[in-house]
A = this chain, B = another copy of it.
Amino acid sequence: MEKENKNNNLTSISELGEFKLIEEITKTFEVVNDSTDLGVGDDAAVLDFKTNKVLISTDMLVEGVHFDLAYTPLKHLGYKAVISNLSDIFAMNGICSQITVSIALSNRFTLESVEELYLGIRAACKKFKIDLVGGDTTSSNKGMIISITAIGYSINKTITKRSGAKENDLLVVSGDLGSAYMGLQVLKRENEVFKVNPKNQPDLSAYTYLLQRQLKPEARKDVIDFFAKNDIVPTSMIDISDGLSSEILHICKNSNVGCNIYEEKIPLSEELIAACEEFKLHPTTIAMSGGEDYELLFTVNQKDYEKIKNSNDLTVIGHITNDSKEANLITKAEQIVPITSQGWKSF
């Protein structure tokens, strides 16, 4: 197999990166059905089955790549696997109603461990009123693989794609950013300590919020409900799974616009700031590049500012500009720094 990679005519996937690979793969597919309104290239596919639009989104999680069972309880893993898919449906301004769950397992797993996983899946389903409507269960030669497809719906005129941001729109984010990533750093550090001294009892009380953000993230259905209640339809939206930098670049590219994000506006938790000090990391870097917060990043017309401003949980962090080549971070020192994707790289 090594031979294949040494052949200069072949392109290795690790060189190519995930987004490029998806682009390569999908560019050769044409849409042929009237019922396909929007296919690959957004958080979910939009299918027109006449009345409500059906939303479909899917994700695959691989042990050792996306999760490490050394510090991820199976129940939390199940919960989070569902949450990350729901988040994609919410990022279309949709309601999620069903999921399918496929798992492949090596023979080191017992029924009880699978039940632990499904306890978490069930908890997420219960909380968000989701029906599990299918799936597949099979064996693997190594580790656990989870593939989830989420199905939802939305009324046509309220579906929010990545592509609708317009000049002067406000750039808004829910919750705070970076804490899930710092939670992972804490878990990794404790895991290293544990390997050296298994009897060590870690005191993780200072990191409760960070660990919760990493191990039991929530999908922001409440934000979608807030939009409906206040007659807001964002002009574009995406969920923050790969980090703010990566997501804002998706919005800018798909909407053919630029943006200014103000560093001082980026919402950070106190726990994140404290942990960054301890780990000697820059909070803004973590907030821009750390993934898995599952917050929503969206743009609204300025006329909606009055409706947004009273929410404690929504923060205006910048605005959209008309220069598609300029996605900038304006630092606290008023320097202009071009935003580059530091998002999570799967290959």
Contact = CB atoms under 8 A, between A and B. Distances in A.
Contacts of A26: 132
Interface stretch (A49-57, A288-296, A305-313): A49-57
A13 B111 contact: yes
A142 B141 contact: yes
A250 to B, nearest CB: 15
Contact of A102 (B31, B132, B134, B147): B147
Contacts of A151: 47, 54, 56
A47 B147 CA distance: 20
Interface residues of A, number: 87
A112 B11 contact: yes
A134 to B, nearest CB: 5
Interface in A12-33: 12-14, 16, 18, 21-22, 24-26, 28-29, 31-33
Nearest to A112: B10
Given A54-B49, A140-B65, A107 B29 contact: no
Nearest to A100: B58
Contacts of A133: 36, 38-40, 45, 47, 56
B131 A140 contact: no
Contact of A21 (B65, B130, B137, B147): B137
A281 interface: no
Nearest to A28: B122
Contact of A139 (B31, B113, B346): B346
Contacts of A52: 49-50
Nearest to A147: B147
Q: Which of A60, A105, A107, A118 has the most CB of B within 10 A?
A: A60
A277 interface: no
Copies of the protein in its oligomer: 2
A108 interface: yes
B24 A135 contact: no
Nearest to A129: B32
A338 interface: no
A16 B113 CA distance: 13
A38 B134 CA distance: 10
Contact of A104 (B36, B45, B62, B98): B62
A10 B111 contact: yes
Contact of A141 (B28, B64, B98): B64
Contacts of A97: 33, 35-36, 47
Interface in A94-148: 97-98, 100, 102-105, 107-115, 118, 122, 125, 129-143, 145, 147
Contacts of A47: 54, 97-98, 133, 151
22 contacts: A5-B107, A13-B105, A13-B139, A18-B137, A22-B135, A24-B111, A26-B132, A32-B130, A35-B98, A45-B98, A47-B97, A47-B98, A49-B54, A51-B51, A58-B102, A58-B134, A60-B102, A60-B104, A60-B138, A62-B141, A137-B346, A142-B143
Given A58-B100, A65-B138, A104-B145, 6 more contacts: A28-B122, A58-B134, A58-B136, A60-B102, A142-B143, A149-B149
